A and B are shown apart, each in its own frame.
Chain A
Amino acid sequence: QSVLTQPPSASGTPGQRVTISCSGGSSNIGSNYVYWYQQLPGTAPKLLIYRNNQRPSGVPDRFSGSKSGTSASLAISGLRSEDEADYYCAVWDDSLSGLYVFGIGTKVTVL
């Protein structure tokens, strides 16, 4: 269980656009930057989006992040088979003396 709510799964066919939501509250998403991580099977997570909508060097522009109020979303356009992975949103929470919280993760399946 997490203070961040993500759908457990999402799917699409190659070329489609998939969107993953991340819902939080005023002490986390509402007042701090959102980060997204991609975890391919059997590997360490990889930073995909930082500060709501910034892509680290090397991350394709097919991946985009946005935030509005206490919710955020990750969009994957032009879905590819190699995008099949778990995706986690994360944010610092100002309650409880500071805590970095992850969403439960969304498993993206490419049909």
Chain B
Amino acid sequence: QVQLQESGPGLEKPSETLSLTCTVSGGSISGYYWSWIRQPPGKGLEWIGYVYFRGGTSYNPSLKSRVTISVDTSKNQFSLKLTSVTAADTAIYYCARTHGGGSDYWGPGTLVTVSS
């Protein structure tokens, strides 16, 4: 059974860079797309972007200038970097496997708060 787990700081200061890692277990990272999705507290879901296991990426145009998603197949991990964060970036961040257009396996999510 594929499992995903997000990790990273739960608190970031405004203007700093948010960095999260998703570790995939129970299956290989190869052959799939891997996504980051976020959800502000009490609000809906927002797709951030994805990375293909070979390294190709696609990002939400509204975040594209601040986002980098990368993959490390040797560690079965992929990562998210979001620069110049503000309070509007406070959210639960989910990592997910994207297959056939939909995300079929999700991590439990990690809350990142942006505050000074």
Contact = CB atoms under 8 A, between A and B. Distances in A.
A35 B58 contact: no
Query: What is the predominant secondary structure among interface residues of chain B facing chain A?
Result: strand
Interface residues of A, number: 27
Contact of A45 (B45, B61, B100, B101): B45
Given A35-B102, A98-B58, A88 B44 contact: yes
B52 interface: no
Given A44-B107, A88-B44, A102-B47, A50 B101 contact: yes
Given A97-B61, A98-B58, A99-B61, A47 B104 contact: yes
A33 B98 CA distance: 14
B23 to A, nearest CB: 15
B103 interface: yes
B39 to A, nearest CB: 8
A101 interface: yes
Nearest to B98: A100
Nearest to A56: B104
Contacts of B46: 102
B43 to A, nearest CB: 9
Interface in B47-88: 47, 50, 58, 60-61
Interface in B19-56: 35, 37, 44-47, 50
B83 to A, nearest CB: 20
Interface string A71-94: 000000000000000001010100
Nearest to A43: B108
Interface of A: 2, 32-33, 35, 37, 39, 43-47, 50-51, 56, 88, 90, 92, 96-105
